[in-house]
Chains A and B, each alone.
Chain A
Amino acid sequence: MTTVLDVTDFSVEFRTRSGTVKALDRVAFRIGRGETMALVGESGSGKSVTAYALLGLLDAAGRITGGRASLEGVELTTASPAALAAIRGRRAAMIFQNPRAALNPIRPIGQQIADVVRRHAGLSRRDATSRAVEMLREVGIPDPVRRAGAYPFELSGGMCQRVMIAIAVATRPALLIADEPTTGLDVTTQAVVMDIMAKLAGETGMATLLITHDLALAAERSGRIAVMHAGHIVEEAATRALLAAPRHPYTRRLLAATPTAAGDLAELRSIPGNLPDLRRADLPPCRFAARCPQHLEACEAPMVWRDIAPAHRIACWNPA
């Protein structure tokens, strides 16, 4: 499988008035062509920061402090802002939660798709408009010619997310980053939106990085899962293997905190404690240590990645 995105030792910090936030620490993963990898973790674990940092969308306070990230062989961490802007939308696209707010409220949706195609494919205004209509049809929007002139406020949330997908995939990117793409949509719409993404990925060989806090969604829609906690990836494995035999204490806790159709709600267990304060200067090597029931002396040693099964790696000294 060809690797589309290869991230190694990727670290990001934010300078704030109250100190430096070590938001990402040596994050590493790979996504291959046509593959869907889910990045899961609780809020604040650094999932979205990973995506923003990769695409050069961090705000002024954030910066990449180490590591590499290459997209189709192009190094992103050292690329100029202009080079990154040319890659964004062309080779790597992104969709967001809350699709209605993510669209320009006073520009017709067809126009918004056309803007992106014109920029990246260099099409004429007319060709871009017909390409926009074509894309609307592709994401299953009925009556696309008429809808191209519609504004976001005239469409439902699900329709807006389809438009977002159309904007993202119009240039046939190699990588689609979907940041909580179904949050705020009703369940049937969620399924439809995810189906559309899966179909397009299947057709074009696009790799998908699915960022979500919803383990059920990740279980259903991804081939691989990487679990994030406080800026670390703590476990990564094929989805089935990870769900069947989670090894990292955090992953186990996370699964125990996730409701399932079969399970009893009373059996749900919350994860004790909170994410550590990432501004601390003396962050422990394992950032889950303070919340971990299996904490050992050995956990004070520097964090090391270990393959505990084929294509199943964890960062833990005392796995379950």
Chain B
Amino acid sequence: MRGVLWRLAGSLPALAAVVVVTFILTRVLPGDTATYFAGPTASAESIAQIRTALGLDRPLPEQFWSYVVALFHGDLGMSLTTGQPVLVDILARLPASAELTLCGLVLAMAVAIPLGIIAAVRQGSLADHACRVIVTAGVSLPVFFTGLLLVYVFYFLLGWSPAPLGRLDAFASAPPTVTGFYLIDAALIGDWETWRSAFAQLVLPAVTLGLFALAPIARITRASMLAVLGAEFIRTARAAGLASRTIILTYALRNALLPVVTTLGMVFSFLLGANVLVEKVFAWPGIGSYAVEALIASDGAPVQGFVLTMAILYVALNLTIDLINRALDPRARQA
């Protein structure tokens, strides 16, 4: 438990650095917020007025100070594009991104881990070659391309999938928010029609993300399984006549999962990045598309909020990975 608290404390400097860097970044980015919002026909006077209203005319240290003070009060500023507090926007959109990312990751794990195991156990078999092909494809296809391809095939050509226009089709209404995950919220109230609609919308973007995440997970699982299968303790287990099921699942896999878990953390963070594109392609109302829109509009506060949220997610993610590693590996509990 103390170790966990230490880990948490250790991530505070990183968060502080993120606050500073995002602040500076949004200030040095090209584009003037005041000009953008005043509109193309605005006079110099009204632009100056807006600049004063937004506090953009004050010196940078002063702006930074008021930003930090507001941050400590849970105030991430106002989004000029949506006219809402950034915190409200992000909290409303984060579940959409989280649901998509988690589904993509679970899907990738469900395919990649068994594939990696089979590829390692039956080296040179059909499964091994399939693994190699999928890994290569997953690495070389960019997500926006896979996403568009899937939309083209499954929506446009085959018509199996609904229009890629967000989390629900136009006629369904969102389930009452409990977790913000539509699949869970709809299931909680037993609204299976909404559930199906949310599921149908989720499939293609989740598969897109899943295909992207598949490659690193399958590759690490295979490599790690191969390394463990060649280890001396596997020879011991075989010499002791343990059943091959026990050897592969209990002895080899549990050991092989240690690097896989670490990779999962990395893959998850890649997915958060890839999300930005996938959300664009599928009109997914997540924080990725929110940030992109804000960035294009030179709207600083949402961009800062987005980066900060991501940073917090990363920290939480790394902590989770650490905890899982501790649960799996007694040697990590010691340190």
A interface residues (Cβ-Cβ under 8 A, vs B):
55, 57, 85-90, 93-94, 96, 98, 101-107, 115-116, 119-120, 151, 153, 164, 167-168
- CB contact under 8 A between A104 and B237, given known A85-B244, A115-B246, A119-B246: yes
Question: A98 — which chain B residues lie within 8 A by C-beta?
Answer: 232
Expressed in whole angstroms, the Cα–Cα distance for A293 and B267 within the complex equals: 64
Query: Closest approach, in angstroms, between the C-beta of B74 and any C-beta of chain A?
Result: 42
A101 touches B231 (CB 8 A): yes
Interface assignment of B40: CB less than 8 Å from any CB of chain A:
no
Question: A105 — which chain B residues lie within 8 A by C-beta?
Answer: 233, 255, 331
**Which of A96, A101, A105: most chain B CB closer than 10 A?**
A105
Expressed in whole angstroms, the Cα–Cα distance for A241 and B243 within the complex equals: 43
Interface assignment of B39: CB less than 8 Å from any CB of chain A:
no
> Could you jot down 7 A-B contacts, CB within 8 Å?
A57-B235, A57-B238, A90-B241, A96-B235, A101-B233, A115-B240, A116-B241
Residue of A88, A101, A119, A151 touching B239 (CB-CB under 8 A): A88
**Which of A55, A57, A105, A106: most chain B CB closer than 10 A?**
A106
Q: Which residue of A lies closest to B123 (CB)?
A: A60
Residue of A55, A119, A151 touching B330 (CB-CB under 8 A): A151
- CB contact under 8 A between A102 and B233, given known A57-B238, A115-B250: yes
Interface assignment of B191: CB less than 8 Å from any CB of chain A:
no
Expressed in whole angstroms, the Cα–Cα distance for A94 and B236 within the complex equals: 8
Interface assignment of B307: CB less than 8 Å from any CB of chain A:
no
B233 touches A85 (CB 8 A): no
Expressed in whole angstroms, the Cα–Cα distance for A85 and B242 within the complex equals: 7
Interface assignment of B329: CB less than 8 Å from any CB of chain A:
yes
Query: Closest approach, in angstroms, between the C-beta of B244 and any C-beta of chain A?
Result: 7
Question: A94 — which chain B residues lie within 8 A by C-beta?
Answer: 236, 239-240
Interface assignment of B328: CB less than 8 Å from any CB of chain A:
yes
Residue of B239, B251, B255, B331 touching A89 (CB-CB under 8 A): B239
Interface positions, chain B 235-264, Cβ under 8 Å from A, are 235-244, 246, 250-251, 254-255, 258
- CB contact under 8 A between A153 and B233, given known A57-B239, A93-B240: no
Query: Closest approach, in angstroms, between the C-beta of A201 and any C-beta of chain B?
Result: 18
B242 touches A115 (CB 8 A): yes
Expressed in whole angstroms, the Cα–Cα distance for A265 and B258 within the complex equals: 49
Question: B254 — which chain A residues lie within 8 A by C-beta?
Answer: 106-107
Expressed in whole angstroms, the Cα–Cα distance for A55 and B240 within the complex equals: 10
Query: Closest approach, in angstroms, between the C-beta of B252 and any C-beta of chain A?
Result: 9
B232 touches A102 (CB 8 A): yes
A106 touches B241 (CB 8 A): no
Query: Closest approach, in angstroms, between the C-beta of B281 and any C-beta of chain A?
Result: 41
Question: B330 — which chain A residues lie within 8 A by C-beta?
Answer: 106, 151, 153
- CB contact under 8 A between A96 and B242, given known A106-B330, A115-B250, A153-B331: no
Q: Which residue of A lies closest to B237 (CB)?
A: A104
Instruction: Give 7 nearest A-B pairs by CB, closest first.
Output: A89-B241, A88-B241, A89-B240, A94-B239, A101-B232, A104-B233, A102-B236
Question: A151 — which chain B residues lie within 8 A by C-beta?
Answer: 330-331
Query: Closest approach, in angstroms, between the C-beta of A111 and any C-beta of chain B?
Result: 9
A102 touches B240 (CB 8 A): no
Q: Which residue of A lies closest to B236 (CB)?
A: A102
Expressed in whole angstroms, the Cα–Cα distance for A86 and B238 within the complex equals: 10
A96 touches B241 (CB 8 A): no
Expressed in whole angstroms, the Cα–Cα distance for A104 and B231 within the complex equals: 9
A106 touches B243 (CB 8 A): no
Expressed in whole angstroms, the Cα–Cα distance for A57 and B235 within the complex equals: 8
A85 touches B255 (CB 8 A): no
B331 touches A86 (CB 8 A): no
B255 touches A86 (CB 8 A): no
Q: Encode B210-243 as 1/0 by CB contact (under 8 A) with A.
A: 0000000000000000000001110111111111
Query: Closest approach, in angstroms, between the C-beta of A141 and any C-beta of chain B?
Result: 18
Residue of A87, A88, A103, A119 touching B233 (CB-CB under 8 A): A103
- CB contact under 8 A between A119 and B243, given known A101-B231, A151-B330, A151-B331: yes
Question: A116 — which chain B residues lie within 8 A by C-beta?
Answer: 240-242
Query: Closest approach, in angstroms, between the C-beta of A114 and any C-beta of chain B?
Result: 11
Question: B331 — which chain A residues lie within 8 A by C-beta?
Answer: 105-106, 151, 153
Question: A90 — which chain B residues lie within 8 A by C-beta?
Answer: 241
Q: Encode B318-333 as 1/0 by CB contact (under 8 A) with A.
A: 0000000000111100
Question: B241 — which chain A residues lie within 8 A by C-beta?
Answer: 85-90, 116, 119-120
- CB contact under 8 A between A93 and B255, given known A101-B231, A105-B233, A151-B330: no
- CB contact under 8 A between A167 and B236, given known A115-B246, A119-B243, A151-B331: yes
Question: A102 — which chain B residues lie within 8 A by C-beta?
Answer: 232-233, 235-236
Query: Closest approach, in angstroms, between the C-beta of A139 and any C-beta of chain B?
Result: 15
Expressed in whole angstroms, the Cα–Cα distance for A98 and B334 within the complex equals: 22
Expressed in whole angstroms, the Cα–Cα distance for A115 and B242 within the complex equals: 8
Interface contacts beyond A85-B243, A89-B242, A107-B254: sample of 6 additional A-B pairs, CB < 8 Å, sorted by A? A85-B241, A88-B241, A101-B232, A102-B235, A106-B254, A107-B251
Expressed in whole angstroms, the Cα–Cα distance for A168 and B239 within the complex equals: 9
Query: Closest approach, in angstroms, between the C-beta of B229 and any C-beta of chain A?
Result: 11
Expressed in whole angstroms, the Cα–Cα distance for A46 and B99 within the complex equals: 58
Expressed in whole angstroms, the Cα–Cα distance for A107 and B228 within the complex equals: 14
Expressed in whole angstroms, the Cα–Cα distance for A120 and B250 within the complex equals: 17
Q: Which residue of A lies closest to B254 (CB)?
A: A106
Query: Closest approach, in angstroms, between the C-beta of B334 and any C-beta of chain A?
Result: 8
